[in-house]
Structure 1
């Protein structure tokens, strides 16, 4: 066992005992002066949590250099926890019998060690195999005036590093005062990509993660953790509008880039290390686990699938996070990167075209949802599943019930039967645009409108009227073009859950209609007149009786 003081700079804020064999904390007594972690509210359980999240993997050369220069620390003790030093705050542990001061051990003194490179502290450092299996190598570079964090990304084409640059582009383009960390990226000789950013902490400024804020007090069940995090920041002196705006902005930008790793250690607040006053939200950082970096599929996600993806934050899904956003327009959609910008950024990094296409398609779905959110609609997994179920029901109805009725006798009074005018369902201008140089049925059918929810309604199609539409649009109504328009409108109606009445007295489209009916599992029926269609005949009778 070994006794230590838990220090904040040169202020003792607690007394703890460490098992020298395991490196675990055995006991802790807080000094009660408000300097300890968790905003001054620490006990044994909290300090154990804090200790587990904090370690610096040390090299033997670093340890020996420290022993040589300070002559007061045993190799075993320093190896156990490296005095719990961190680049992001001013906490450390001092052996009880030692006369060490903070200036003796702070990281800036390591510039002479290992070419100025110091390993980055994180929880994975406890695992000697942490560098295997895709973990990014991280270290602090002290060779410049300002310490620089360097993260190497080799798996997934180095996309995690590229994602940091992409997030920087988003933040730079937004007209906002929300703080963010600026990243750059560089290729290495071993085909990895390094992301670099300057430290936003120093001897006078430290980072307090959201986790410590949340754990600093017993929380109420009447409010969400998201809301109580904001309340606690305000309670400790921060401006409500600033912290709320920051959370709104961070939540929305994380949603846009599909960041799945905004856990409570990945954002927080800045504190003055001398006055212990909270100053402002910490700059947004660590956006590498975004833009579907580890996905190996090529087909775009549905809206339901996107919202089902698990995230690490106050909630496990994005829709829950979105529900807490107050200012939904704090992110300007018109300033977000375009398809070309995304293609250029990821293409320049050697990301395969197929993966870039996958990234863009899902990004654009997110932009569509953002637009809906900013228009006042609620984005929720429940609603999306409901819509998806309705669409499945429509398709199921199509298979079982939807029908195409071909009549020989033209309809004189269409209004009597309450049928839809298909001019508005699939405009002829859209069809002609797809067939500008040659008749391209594939393109025409790919543009079929969806989510019309016709729910069994009847749509009327007449060959003669389609010919008139084509003429009025300045084109020649040749037979192939007319048949293509007929097929497109039949497919549109059936796909959206409706029924078709086709006026084709000369049987020009019979062959094509047979193929459409078979491909869409629709019933195909032939009649002399519209009165032979039971549903429509009844509608006509009801109309006459009024």
Structure 2
């Protein structure tokens, strides 16, 4: 019978029937489990495991599975990888002799072959066993790389995607918001971000964390109410406000989450703001709709007044110059973005004066 482990502690045990479906769960340590597994719901364990699977719509993901002879479905890659992921310390134990460090991706050596096939689709023979990519979710081609003791996520994108991610990062930092760290690379098709989890701090996506609350529907008002009940509403509103300012239409249950202590399961904080590469019209028209919707729903809480007072065209120009210098995107036309930001500043100042 396999065990779902958190480090070297059993969180739950489960079994499969002859058809490959989970037919039994027994909880051993509820505090260590993700929120959606704490009720021992078999269907939710299936959903949680599948949610950890590499995005099969990515061409390079399918190449990776083919090279490793893994079935192209949403459960086999996760089970092959023993459930391990570079966002937490959960893993599936099959043999009594296994220990966490035998399956700990955080201390695993970096493998360039796995990296190259996941990021670029480079065909080559691959080492067998667990790796960092089979549970690296998301629709853009990406891969983990290790620098010293730190893991960095490398992500492919167009100039517009990379500009949007970097600009939003620097803007959020300038406003004093909690942002995941991003850096440009010499390859103009790539951007990298520092993993903000480690062996002591895990990320639980809102997809799972919402089961800590009675209302599990996903809309901004419900999430706000839930976050307010645990004192994280200010941090959540900061993410929504920045989404409105940079016109990011892509906030969802897998780029919003919380950080937890891996030893206790206790809540630490809201996860930093990350995944903004679809902002600033990277794949859609720039519009004030998201900002106006935010203001209509939440207004401007007192703690956010300082952000609005910091915004200016000079700040936007400074960040634009920094991003273009660091990326080499000197030919990228950002006229529409500046016109949009002028509208943003006018809208926010007008709202303040009402």
Q: TM over 0.5, yes or no?
A: yes
SS in structure 2 at match of 1:149: strand
* 3-state DSSP of counterpart to 1:92: strand
- Distance in 1 between the 2:172 and 2:76 partners? 43
Query: Are 2:153 and 2:193, in contact at CA under 8 Å, matched by a contact in 1?
Result: yes
Question: What residue is the counterpart of 2:318 in the other structure?
Answer: 341
Give ranges in structure 1 of 5+ residues lacking alignment. Answer: 65-75, 125-134, 235-239, 308-316, 377-546
Q: 2:30 aligns with which of 27, 30, 33?
A: 33
Q: What residue number does 2:152 align with?
A: 148
- Supply the distance in 1 between the matched residues of 2:100 and 2:18 (Cα, whole angstroms): 22
Q: CA separation in 2, counterparts of 1:260 and 1:20?
A: 43
The Cα shift of 1:196 comes to 1.3
Alpha-carbon offset, residue 141 of structure 1: 0.7
Q: Is the 8 A contact 2:156 2:189 kept in 1?
A: yes
The answer to whether the aligner puts 1:159 opposite 2:155 as a matched pair is no
Partner residue of 2:307 out of 310, 327, 331: 331
Looking at both structures, which has the greater relative contact order when contacts are Cα pairs under 8 Å and sequence separation is at least 6?
2
Deviations for 1:417-472, whole angstroms, at most 9, x for unmatched residues? xxxxxxxxxxxxxxxxxxxxxxxxxxxxxxxxxxxxxxxxxxxxxxxxxxxxxxxx
Q: Provide closer, same or farther for how the CA distance between residues 32 and 320 of structure 1 changes in structure 2, counting only shifts above 3 A.
A: farther
Relative to the length of structure 1, the TM-score reads: 0.51
Classify the secondary structure of the residue corresponding to 1:108. helix
- Shift of the 275–139 alpha-carbon distance from structure 1 to 2, 3 Å rule, reads same
Aligned mates of 1:194, 1:213 — CA distance in 2: 30
Once the 2 structures are TM-superposed, how far is the Cα of residue 83 of structure 1 from its aligned partner?
Answer: 0.9
Which residue in 1 is equivalent to 2:186? 187
- Spell out the pairing of 1:437-516 with structure 2 (5 A cutoff): none
Secondary structure (helix, strand or coil) at the match of 2:32 reads coil
Cα distance change, pair 224–172 in 1 and its aligned pair in 2 (3 A): closer
Secondary structure of 1:329's aligned partner: helix
Q: Post-superposition shift, 1:45?
A: 2.7
Which structure 2 segments of 5+ residues have no match?
55-60, 70-74, 116-131
Query: Cα offset for 1:103?
Result: 0.9
**How is 1:19-418 mapped onto 2 (pairs within 5 angstroms)?**
25-31=22-28, 33-38=30-35, 41-42=38-39, 43-56=41-54, 59=64, 80-95=79-94, 97-111=95-109, 113-114=111-112, 117=115, 118-119=132-133, 121-123=135-137, 135-154=139-158, 158-174=159-175, 176=176, 178-188=177-187, 192-219=188-215, 224-232=221-229, 234=230, 240=231, 243-295=232-284, 306-307=288-289, 318-322=291-295, 323-324=297-298, 326-327=301-302, 328-336=304-312, 338=314, 340-341=317-318, 343-345=320-322, 347-348=324-325, 349-350=328-329, 355-376=333-354
Alignment deviations for residues 475-499 of structure 1 (CA, whole Å, 9 cap, x no partner):
xxxxxxxxxxxxxxxxxxxxxxxxx
Pairwise CA distance, 1:286: 1.3
Q: For the Cα contact (< 8 Å) 1:146–1:198, is it kept in 2?
A: yes
Match of 1:456 in 2: none
Between the aligned partners of 1:50 and 1:249, the Cα distance in structure 2 is 28
C-alpha distance in 2, partners of 1:266/1:83?
23
Change over 3 Å in CA distance of 1:230–1:215 after alignment to 2: same
Distance across 2 between alignment mates of 1:104 and 1:258: 43
Quick one: distance in 2 between partners of 1:33 and 1:79?
22
TM-score (norm 2): 0.76
Aligned to 1:292, the other structure's residue is in SS state: coil
In the other structure, the counterpart of 1:469 is: none
Which structure has the bigger radius of gyration? 1
RMSD across aligned positions (CA): 3.4
CA 1:248–1:373: 2 relative to 1, 3 Å: farther
Alpha-carbon distance change, 204 to 63 in structure 1, aligned in 2, over 3 angstroms: farther
CA shift, 1:282, in A, is 1.7
- 1:230/1:244 contact within 8 Å kept: yes
> 1: CA distance between counterparts of 2:113 and 2:149?
15
- Residue 8 of structure 1: aligned partner: 6
Partner SS, residue 159 of structure 1: helix
CA distance in 2, matches of 1:164, 1:249: 16
Counterpart contact for 2:203–2:259, Cα < 8 Å: yes
Contact 2:246 2:280 (8 Å CA) reproduced: yes
SS of alignment partner, residue 30 of structure 2? coil
Q: 1:336 to 1:46 in 2, by over 3 A?
A: farther
Write the distance in 2 (CA, Å) between the matches of 1:77 and 1:49. Answer: 13
Superposed, which structure 2 residues align to 1:503-542 within 5 Å?
none
Q: What secondary structure is seen at the aligned counterpart in 2 of 1:284?
A: coil
